[in-house]
Structure 1
Amino acid sequence: MPSRTHQFYAIAFVENLPLRGLTAHYPEARVSPHELYFPLDEGAGVYIYPFGAMVFHNVPQQRRDFELTRLEQAHPGLRTQIVREDYSLTEDPDSVVGLTNGNLRVDKLTTARAGVVALTVAQSAAMEYYEQVVESLFARTGKMVERMEARGSVPFRTRPLVRFIGEAIMNRNEVLSVLHLLDKPDATWEDSAMDRIYDDLRTEFDLADRYAALELKLRSVQEALELVVDVARDRRLLLLEVAVAILILVEILIPLFHISLTALP
C-alpha cells in the first residue's frame, strides 16, 4: 500500500453548537456527547464539536462549502466562521507512529485515530478564537487602567464600566467553561498509538502552553477589574460621605438661620 496524505481542515465559530439539536438535520451521523460525525465518500468525513468547531477530513473545497451551508441551515443565526486551521499527516504502512519535522506519520489511519487528529485540530482552532477574545479583553482593560493612571480616578459615570465588567466576566466564564478542550479523548486509553498521536499533536499545536497563557491573561484582567471596581467604590463612598456631611451642615445651619432671623428687630 503506497503512502497517502490526509488533510484535516478545521473551522471555529463564535457560537457553541448543540449536537442534539443538529441530529434531525444529520440523520446519517453518529452522535456522542462530544462530537457529531458522518462519513463521506472514499474515507472522507465531517466532525462537528459542541464547542463551536467543524473539521473536514479529506473533503474538497466544493463539498466543504456545501456542508457549511447545510450547517448554517441547521443552526440559523450561525455567524461567519472566524478561525480556520488545517493540518496534514502521512499514512504509510512502513512508518512508525510519531512526528517527523512537524509532520505526523502513522502506519494506519483508522477511523478512531482520524477522530483523535480531528479533535486536536478542532481544539487548536477553538483555542485561537478564545485567544482573540481574551486578547481583546486584555487590551481594553489595559487602556482602562492607563486612563485611570492618567486621570487619577475612574469616570464618574459608572454604567459603561459596569457593562464592560459584565462582558469581561461573561467572556471569562465562557473561556473557563471550555477547560474540557484539553481533556484527553477516551479513545486514547484504548490504543497506545492514539495516545502518542494525541500527545504529539497537542505538543505540536502548543495547546497546554496556550491555555496557560489564556489563564494568566484572564487572571490579569480580573485583578485589574477588581482594582478599578475598588477605586470606583471608594469614590462613590467618598461622594456619599461628602453628601452626608453637607446634609448635616445644612441641618445645623437652618436652625441658626432661623434664630438669626428672629433676633433681627
Structure 2
Amino acid sequence: MNEKLYLYAIYLTKSLSTAEIEQALGIKLTKGIESMLYAQIGKSMISYADFNVLILINWDKEDIPNVLQRLGIKESSNIASTQNIYQDYPIEIDSTLGRLFEIDNQKITLKEHSTISLLIISHVISQSVALEVYENKLSDYYERSRELLETSDTFSLFKRTQFAKFAKQLVLLRHDMMIDLYLLDKPNIVWDNEDAEALYNTLALSLELKERFEVVEYKLNSIKDDIIMIMDLKNHSHSAFLEWIIIVLIVIEVVFGFMEWFGLK
C-alpha cells in the first residue's frame, strides 16, 4: 500500500518560543533530533528547528497560510512568495520497496512510515532551508562589501569603524552557521542506528549540505580577508601620515629653537 505525504519546510521571519508555538496551535511539542521539537497531530507532523525553520508533513497546502498567521507570521498569504524561503518535498511510503529508503530528484521514498525517518528528513531539509537563508545573506554581504571597497579611497575614521563592524558581522555570521546548523556534526541519534545514519548521509549528500556550507564559508572568508586587507593598508597609510605629522612638528620645533637661539624670535 502506497501513501503520499508532502513536506513543507518554511523559514520564519521571527524566532518563536516553544510556549508560543504550543499556545498558538494548541499542541504539545516534544524533543526530536538535536534541538528540533515536534508533535504528531493525527497522521500529520509538525516540527520546529531553533534556527527558525518550521516543517509541516502531511498538511494541506491550503492550510499552511492559516498556520503561519496563527504563529504571527505576516508574510503568510502565499508561502511561494519571494518573501518566504521554503522547500517542499514529496514523501512516498511504499511497502513493496526493496530497501529501507530511496532518494532521487523527484521524491523521497520510505519502505515504512517511521517517526524517526520523518524526523531525520525534517532535520536535514530544515538545515538546507536555513543554509539557503545564509546563502541569500551572503549575496547581500557581497554587495555591501563591494560598496565599502569602492569607497576605500576616501578612507576616514568613520569608514574604518564601518570596516571593523562589517568584519565582525562576517565572523558572527560564520559562527552562527556552525553553531545553529550543526553541519559539521551528525545528530547523536544516528551513531547507534545504522539505518538512520544511512538516511541522514544520503539525504545530506543529495542536498549537497557539506559542499554548500564549504562554498559559503569560503566566500565569507574571502570577503573578510578583503576587508581586513584594506583595513591593514589604510591603517598603515594612516600610521605613515601620523609619522609625517610628527616629523613636521619636530622640524618646526627645531626651527623655532634655532630662531630663539639666534635671537630671531
Same topology, TM > 0.5: yes
Deviations 1:184-225 (A, max 9, x none): 233434543332222221122111110111121122122212
User: Which stretch shifts more, 24-33 or 205-214?
Assistant: 24-33
Q: Hey, what does 1:40 align to over in structure 2?
A: 41
The CA deviation at 1:258 is 3.7
In the alignment, is residue 66 of structure 1 matched against residue 66 of structure 2?
A: yes
Residues 101 and 68 of structure 1: CA distance in aligned 2, closer, same or farther (over 3 Å): closer
Structure 2: give runs of 5+ residues left out of the alignment: 74-81
Structure 1 residue 59, shift from structure 2 partner: 1.2
- Counterpart AA for 2:200: Y
| Residue 203 (structure 2) aligns with | 201
Q: Quick one: structure 1 residues 247 and 101, their matched pair in 2 at CA, closer, same or farther if it must change by over 3 Å?
A: closer
Secondary structure at the counterpart of residue 38 of structure 1: strand
Deviates more, 1:183-192 or 1:86-95: 183-192
Cα pair 2:20 2:71 within 8 Å, conserved = no
Aligned position for 1:217: 219
Q: Distance in 2 between matches of 1:20 and 1:250?
A: 71
CA distance in 1, matches of 2:37, 2:29: 6
Distance apart, 1:227 and its partner CA: 0.5
Partner of 1:239: 241
Cα distance 1:102–1:208, how it changes in 2: closer, same or farther (>3 A)? Answer: farther
Question: What secondary structure is seen at the aligned counterpart in 1 of 2:89?
Answer: strand
CA–CA separation in structure 1 for the residues paired with 2:264 and 2:90: 98
Amino acid aligned to 2:134: Y
What residue number does 1:77 align with?
A: none
Q: In structure 1, how many angstroms separate the alpha carbons of the residues matched to 2:264 and 2:228?
A: 55
- Alpha-carbon separation, structure 2, partners of 1:119 and 1:179: 10
What is the match of residue 50 of structure 1?
A: 50
Q: Which structure 1 residue ranges, 5 or more long, are not aligned?
A: 74-79
The alignment-based identity, stated in percent, is 20
1:135 matched residue in structure 2: 139
Q: CA deviation at 1:247?
A: 1.6
Measured in 1, the distance between the counterparts of 2:229 and 2:194 equals 48
Of 95, 99, 102, the residue aligned with 2:103 is 99
- After TM superposition, the score normalised by the length of structure 1 is 0.81
Name the stretch that deviates more: 13-22 or 154-163. 13-22
1:8 is aligned to: 7
Q: Distance in 2 between matches of 1:214 and 1:45?
A: 31
Task: Give the C-alpha shift of residue 82 in structure 1.
Answer: 3.8
Tell me which residue corresponds to 1:76: none
- TM-score of the superposed pair, with normalisation by structure 2: 0.81
CA contact (8 A) 2:55 2:122 kept: yes
1:100 positional shift: 4.4
User: What one-letter code is carried by the residue in structure 2 that aligns with 1:3?
Assistant: N
Shift of 1:3: 0.8
1:109 counterpart = 2:113 = yes
Distance 1:100 1:255 in 2: 85
Please tell me whether the aligned partners of residues 189 and 195 of structure 1 are also in contact (alpha carbons under 8 angstroms): yes
Distance in 1 between the 2:264 and 2:222 partners? 64
* Amino acid aligned to 2:107: N
Q: Does 1:88 align with 2:103?
A: no
The 1:155–1:56 alpha-carbon spacing in structure 2 relative to 1, beyond 3 Å, is same
Preserved CA contact (<8 Å) 2:48 2:54: yes
**Offset at residue 259 of structure 1 (A):** 4.8
Distance 1:137 1:34, change over 3 A: same
The farther-off stretch of 102-111 and 188-197 is 188-197
Q: Matched residues in 1 for 2:209 and 2:23: separation?
A: 33
What's the C-alpha RMSD, in Å, of the aligned pairs? Answer: 2.8
Which amino acid in 1 is paired with 2:56?
F
Q: Residue deviations 1:125-146, cap 9 Å, x none?
A: 0010011122322343345445
Q: Report which stretch shifted further, 99-108 or 183-192.
A: 183-192
Q: Is 1:171 the equivalent of 2:169?
A: no
Deviations 1:145-200 (A, max 9, x none): 4555xxxx462242332332333233232223235145323343454333222222
Is the 2:183–2:213 contact (alpha carbons within 8 Å) kept by the matching residues of 1?
A: no
Aligned-partner Cα distance in 2 for 1:184–1:123? 12
Would you say how many aligned residue pairs link Structure 1 and Structure 2? 251
Residue equivalent to 2:194:
192
Q: 1:191 to 1:21 in 2, by over 3 A?
A: same
